[in-house]
Structure formats: C-alpha cells, structure tokens
Amino acid sequence: MRHTQDSNCPNTHSKTVATPAPPADGADYRKALSCFATGVTVVTTHWQGQDWGMTCNSFNSVSLNPRLVLWSIRRESSSLAAFTQGGGFTISVLAQSQQALARQFATGSMSERFAGVRGQREAGGRLRLEGCVAWFECDLHQLVEAGDHTIVLCAVRDFGWQDSAALGFWRSRFGQFEPFEAPPPKP
C-alpha cells in the first residue's frame, strides 16, 4: 500500500491507494481463491429461440431494497452475448443432490447441457431447474466490465426457496455445508 496526497486539495487527508501485487503464478492464485467456499448455481436464459445455461459460483446478494443480485461471466465465454443481450435470467441455487447438474451445465453444447433436464418455464421462456433450493427470476439491471469478466447485476422480479441443503464448492470440489452446534446460552 502507498499513501498519496491529493494535489488539488492540499488540506485533505491522505488517501490509501492499493498497489498491485507482483505477478504471481495463475494456478497459485486460483488455489488461493478456491479457499473461499461458495454455493453453486445454474444460470439460464432464453435468447434467439434457444436455451442457454451455465454453472456459476460467483452468485452473490447485492441489495435487499431494491432486490439486486449479481453473478459474473468470462468475457471470452461463447454464451456472453446470450446472457448480456437476452434481457433476463433465472438463477437456480442447486441442492446437494444436484452435483451431476452442476457438472452437466459446466461444459458441452447447449443441447447437451439441457438434455434430460426437468424444470419449469418462467417469464421470457427461461428454465427454472426442478429440485433447486432457491430460485431468482431476474431482469438485467447493469453490466460492469471487470478484468477478464463481466459482472452481471440483476433486478430480482420473483423468487422462491425450500428448506433443504444446498450444494457447496470449496477448493475446486463439491461438498456440503454443515452448521456448527448452537452455543449454549450464557447464564
């Protein structure tokens, strides 16, 4: 970190500016990022008469009011146009039992990804996967270019959930979340 003084405002406090880290091995950086456990989602859209879908673990909440969520997509992805021009998405949060679906939507053609998949059509023809623990029907709110990805901000139009265990992802492996025992009440 380095500290700088704003030359236009000599009486202001100094500000901290992050200094970029030296280049590191890409594989080592991915290992460090994989230490952050996430849930697993499948994002679907319907664009130009075709279903598009992908596995995504960059899903996150942004705001309760208005209801906003985000996820990101590689700028080199073959499905970038579908997701950025399709107008909206259905985000299905996968259950522990849906590890095979997470793998299915991670690679292959779109017809292979949707082969045998059961679900319900939402507004705009998008597919909500059957058996997911939560789902969010979203309109595109904003796109933010960030490095090699595009951050997709979504306005949540509708949502639902059920009380079941979600699929987890940690250190490049699928898993499950186990809650700690509640601590005993303080006397």
- Measured distance between the N- and C-terminal CA atoms of the chain, rounded to whole angstroms: 45
The reported pLDDT for the residue numbered 167 is 96
pLDDT of residue 16: 53
Supply the DSSP symbol for 99.
H
Domains assigned to the chain? 37-172 (2.30.110.10)
What is the phi/psi pair of residue 111, to 5°?
-65, -35
Per DSSP bridges, beta strands 119-121 and 88-93 are unpaired
- Does 11 have pLDDT greater than 50? no
User: What's the average model confidence in pLDDT over 65-81?
Assistant: 96
Which of the four pLDDT bands, split at 50, 70 and 90, describes residue 20? low
* d(C-alpha 121, C-alpha 127), whole Å: 5
Residue type, 90: T
125 vs 69, more confident: 69
Per-residue model confidence (pLDDT) at position 51? 95
CB atoms inside a 10 Å sphere around CB 159:
14
Confidence band of 19 (pLDDT split at 50, 70, 90)? low
- Mean of pLDDT values over 86-90: 91
On the question of pLDDT at 125 being above 90, the answer is no
Q: Model-level pTM?
A: 0.82
* Mean pLDDT computed over 165-172: 94
- Strands, E assignment, the chain: 2-4, 15-17, 38-39, 41-47, 50-56, 60-63, 68-74, 88-93, 119-121, 127-129, 134-146, 149-161, 167-170, 173-176
* pLDDT, the chain, mean: 88
Q: Which one is predicted more confidently, 50 or 122? A: 50
